[in-house]
A and B are shown apart, each in its own frame.
Chain A
């Protein structure tokens, strides 16, 4: 299937530092979803972006969808230990999702 590439694969940050993960596609996306998976847990839906250039915020999390709808980013301001986990983007085609490889965030207290 058509893939979405996520970078970086891993990120260690000191608590209080910012964090960004990027999701890139070679083809135009109809929409992009973001999920968070805590260690040992299951993915939980965070948000869906649909419009070109869309920006959505959830407290310290900022999600962006590129103007060309080929990339997206998730930015966390002032990370906390509760942010630890793996963040996945997923492209949607009908009711199927294709997940990126995820970015694993580790936060040092």
Chain B
């Protein structure tokens, strides 16, 4: 089956620790995205990548880092510099060939920092 996977579904970490969230897609999509969603809120873009080995900051990139070494994978690291990391993190992907393409979302990872 084609799709986007994120693991784990729930993640608990102690304050001050870095944590990496995984995102894998087998849709052969060029573009991948990370969003943050807080309870009752919309989605805010953290980082996005339109091609391997290239990525750009979104609206709330501070305290986060990403890499795009493979087309299929776009891991997000939540660093200790992120002041309020507890949130629901969503990864998405889309084709890059035509503007306006649909974004497909993974199931998300709920991160709780204790």
**CB within 8 Å of B: which residues of A?**
1, 6, 30-31, 33, 41-45, 48, 50, 88, 92-102, 104
The answer, yes or no, to whether B1 is at the interface (CB within 8 Å) is no
Contacts A1-B59, A44-B105; A31 near B100 (Cβ below 8 A): yes
B43-A45 in contact (CB<8A)? no
Nearest residue (CB) in A for B56 is A96
B40-A104 in contact (CB<8A)? yes
On chain B, the number of residues with a Cβ less than 8 Å from chain A's Cβ atoms is: 26
**Contact residues in B for A44 (Cβ distance below 8 Å):** 105
CB-contacts of B37-80 with A (<8 A)? 40-45, 48, 50, 58-59
**CB within 8 Å of A: which residues of B?**
31, 33, 35, 40-45, 48, 50, 58-59, 90, 94, 96, 99-108
**In the complex, what distance in Å separates the CA atom of A80 from the CA atom of B100?**
30
B102-A48 in contact (CB<8A)? yes
Contact with A97, one of B50, B103, B107, B108 (Cβ below 8 angstroms): B103
Nearest residue (CB) in B for A48 is B100
**In the complex, what distance in Å separates the CA atom of A48 from the CA atom of B94?**
14
- Least CB distance, B28 to chain A, in whole angstroms: 15
B101-A95 in contact (CB<8A)? yes
